[in-house]
Amino acid sequence: MGFQRSIVVPRNFRLLEELERGEKGIGDGSVSYGMDDDADDIFMRSWTGTIIGPSNSTHDGRIYQLKLFCDKDYPDKPPNVRFHSKINMACVNQQTGVVEPRLFSLLGKWKREYTMEDILVELKKEMTLPHNKKLNQAAEGSRF
């Protein structure tokens, strides 16, 4: 009776769960995600995320597109996250748009229970932090 067995949800079930949640919309609708339209992606690796910039910041009302790539070791390892839309944030490589795990703690200290939703919500919060909130941004619609 005293021991508990933790159940590890298989990768595909986990991704299907995330897909369903992403399609329903998250919270206030300012963050969303779903699979890319690649019909050949049977491993569900390529995802697209969207963040609408938070108010009272230089990101206010801007729409940011991201790519999330969940390799075969997801969710044990974090996805690769890259902004497609140009954004100036401390945790984003300004040449490539890649969110740097060493500068974004959710990726750097990844836990299996974290989700793509968590990543997008945290990135949106990151936009409101004092060191990111007022950074000059490229013209809206600019791409990496």
Distance CA 36, CA 75 (A): 18
Q: Structural domain boundaries of the chain? A: 11-133
- Which class would CATH give 11-133? alpha beta
Residue found under tokens 């945290």: 122
pTM for the structure as a whole:
0.91
Model confidence pLDDT, tens digit, residues 122-132 = 999 999 999 99
Residue found under tokens 């067995």: 5
Beta strands in 17-103 (DSSP E): 31-35, 46-52, 63-69, 80-83
Copy the structure tokens of residue 3. 């021991």
Model confidence pLDDT, tens digit, residues 67-123 = 999 999 999 999 999 999 999 999 999 999 999 999 999 999 999 999 999 999 999
Q: What is the pLDDT of residue 114?
A: 96
Which helix or strand (DSSP H or E) is residue 82 part of? strand 80-83
